[in-house]
Chain A
Amino acid sequence: GESVGLHLPTLSVQEGDNSIINCAYSNSASDYFIWYKQESGKGPQFIIDIRSNMDKRQGQRVTVLLNKTVKHLSLQIAATQPGDSAVYFCAENIRAGKSTFGDGTTLTVKP
């Protein structure tokens, strides 16, 4: 069968390594997905998004992968830096409505 990354509530990586954060979403009708970064005491900050007609999208140092078959989303951060330490949330949307957030992953980058 196909291997799907597990969601981990915490992830610790060494500075300079690549990070992969996984998320399982719930609704097969969702057509828009977003990754947010949230630092302590602040609101969620947009990182990257992807629509359901795509399976990969790249930004600066970040890549989002979408697997609709198994309803899985991942965020890859290249050359992780201490400033990347935060809680990361995925969110799903259906037809321009509300966002439904997944369980967060706390990323800690060790210098």
Chain B
Amino acid sequence: DTGVSQDPRHKITKRGQNVTFRCDPISEHNRLYWYRQTLGQGPEFLTYFQNEAQLEKSRLLSDRFSAERPKGSFSTLEIQRTEQGDSAMYLCASSRSRGQRTDTQYFGPGTRLTVL
């Protein structure tokens, strides 16, 4: 257990529905990352926050995806009008980064999304 928690662990939804996932990072970590992982592939970056500011978004993050970190602690990732291609593992990671120095990203267990 890395200290990063995600909820729910599994989500099954029907195409067209909205889903929201939550990530609670390690408490002293100022950076929070979202990745998506499909079967047999490495995680792909979606977006990341430093405190409450969203610093970078991947082109993978279509306008149906939105992420927030309103108080600089937990984060939510919402997918609107889900499509079957959204089926994947959604991973959250957190790190303590200071200036240009990168510290290790610690990953949560992931949320497995299945869109029927």
Contact = CB atoms under 8 A, between A and B. Distances in A.
B101 A96 contact: yes
A100 B110 CA distance: 18
Contacts, number: 62
Interface string A55-83: 00000000000000000000000000000
Interface stretch (B13-21, B43-51, B63-71, B72-80): B43-51
A97 B56 contact: yes
Contact of B45 (A32, A96, A98): A98
Given A43-B107, A43-B109, A93 B44 contact: no
A81 to B, nearest CB: 21
Given A43-B109, A45-B2, A99-B33, A93 B102 contact: yes
Interface residues of B, number: 29
Interface string B19-54: 000000000000101010000111111001000000
A18 B104 CA distance: 26
Where chain B touches its partner, the secondary structure class is: loop
Interface residues of A, number: 24
Interface in A6-55: 31-32, 34, 36, 41-46, 49
Contacts of B43: 44, 89, 99, 101
A62 B81 CA distance: 44
Contacts of A96: 31, 97, 99-102
Contact of A104 (B42, B45, B58, B105): B42
B45 A42 contact: no
A46 B45 CA distance: 17
Contacts of B112: 41
A32 B42 contact: no
Interface string A94-111: 011111111110000000
6 contacts: A36-B107, A42-B110, A46-B105, A91-B42, A98-B33, A98-B58
Interface of A: 31-32, 34, 36, 41-46, 49, 89, 91, 93, 95-104
